[in-house]
Structure 1
Amino acid sequence: MEQQVDVLPDEDGVRVIACTGEFDQDILGPLKAACTAATDDPGVRRIVLDVTQVAFADSSMLNLMLRLRATDRLVLAGPLPAQLARLLDVTSARTLFLTAEGIEAARVL
């Protein structure tokens, strides 16, 4: 599955970053750039990371998600794909993330 990172137009201070495909340390650049732009923008009060189409994620993506979580602005839009859910479960990190069912639900959390 081809990797794609789409940044949707901000609505009411919420930035949605939609992730599709595989994310590992070698190809994390576009996602990292989108996340950095979101955290650096003072007008963004919430960052919604749409992970429903993530086919693979390794510890480098988890590390990026943890750094986003530290901003207190991150919400994951699910449902979580099986592989990402397993990564979060194996690392005992699932409970660290606020997760909503879908983008619209994540926007209002």
Structure 2
Amino acid sequence: MEQQVRVLPDEDGVRVIVCVGDFDQDTLRPLHQACTDAVDDPGVRRIVLDVTGIDFADSSMLNLMIRMLRTGCLVVAGPVPPRLGRLLDLTQVRAVLPTADGIDAARAL
């Protein structure tokens, strides 16, 4: 599946970034840019990362998620796909990652 990073229109200070496909060291740039833009925008108070369409993610994706988590405004919209879930479980990141079941629930947190 072709990789896609789509940024939905902001609503009430919440920016949703939808991820589809494979995310690794060679393909992370569009997602990294979307996340950087969201962090740098003073009107954004929460960043929702929709991970439901991720087929594969490696440690570079994990590193980006951890950096986003440190901003204090990241919420992951799931359900988290099994392969990404395994990475989050193995590294124990899932335990500290705010996750909601779907975009609407993530916006409401």
Amino acid in the other structure paired with 1:77? A
Amino acid in the other structure paired with 2:108? V
**Count of residue pairs brought into register by the alignment:** 109
CA deviation after TM superposition for structure 1 residue 78, in Å: 0.1
What is the CA–CA distance in structure 1 between the aligned matches of 2:95 and 2:78, rounded to whole Å? Answer: 14
What is the CA–CA distance in structure 1 between the aligned matches of 2:96 and 2:23, rounded to whole Å? Answer: 20
Residues 50-95 of structure 1: per-residue CA shift (max 9 Å, x gap)? 0000000000000000000001000000000000000001111111
Equivalence map 1:67-106=2 (5 Å): 67-106=67-106
Q: What is the match of residue 29 of structure 1? A: 29
Amino acid in the other structure paired with 2:87? L
Q: What is the match of residue 47 of structure 1? A: 47
Residues 2-41 of structure 1: per-residue CA shift (max 9 Å, x gap)? 1000000000000000000000001100000000000000
> Which 5+ residue runs of structure 2 have no aligned equivalent?
none
Amino acid in the other structure paired with 1:13? G
Q: Secondary structure at the match of 1:95?
A: helix
> Which 5+ residue runs of structure 1 have no aligned equivalent?
none
What is the CA–CA distance in structure 1 between the aligned matches of 2:5 and 2:98, rounded to whole Å? Answer: 21
Q: Aligned-pair RMSD on alpha carbons?
A: 0.4
What is the CA–CA distance in structure 2 between the aligned matches of 1:21 and 1:96, rounded to whole Å? Answer: 24
Amino acid in the other structure paired with 1:18? V
Please give the TM-score of this superposition, normalised by the length of structure 2: 0.99
Please give the TM-score of this superposition, normalised by the length of structure 1: 0.99
Q: What is the match of residue 5 of structure 1? A: 5
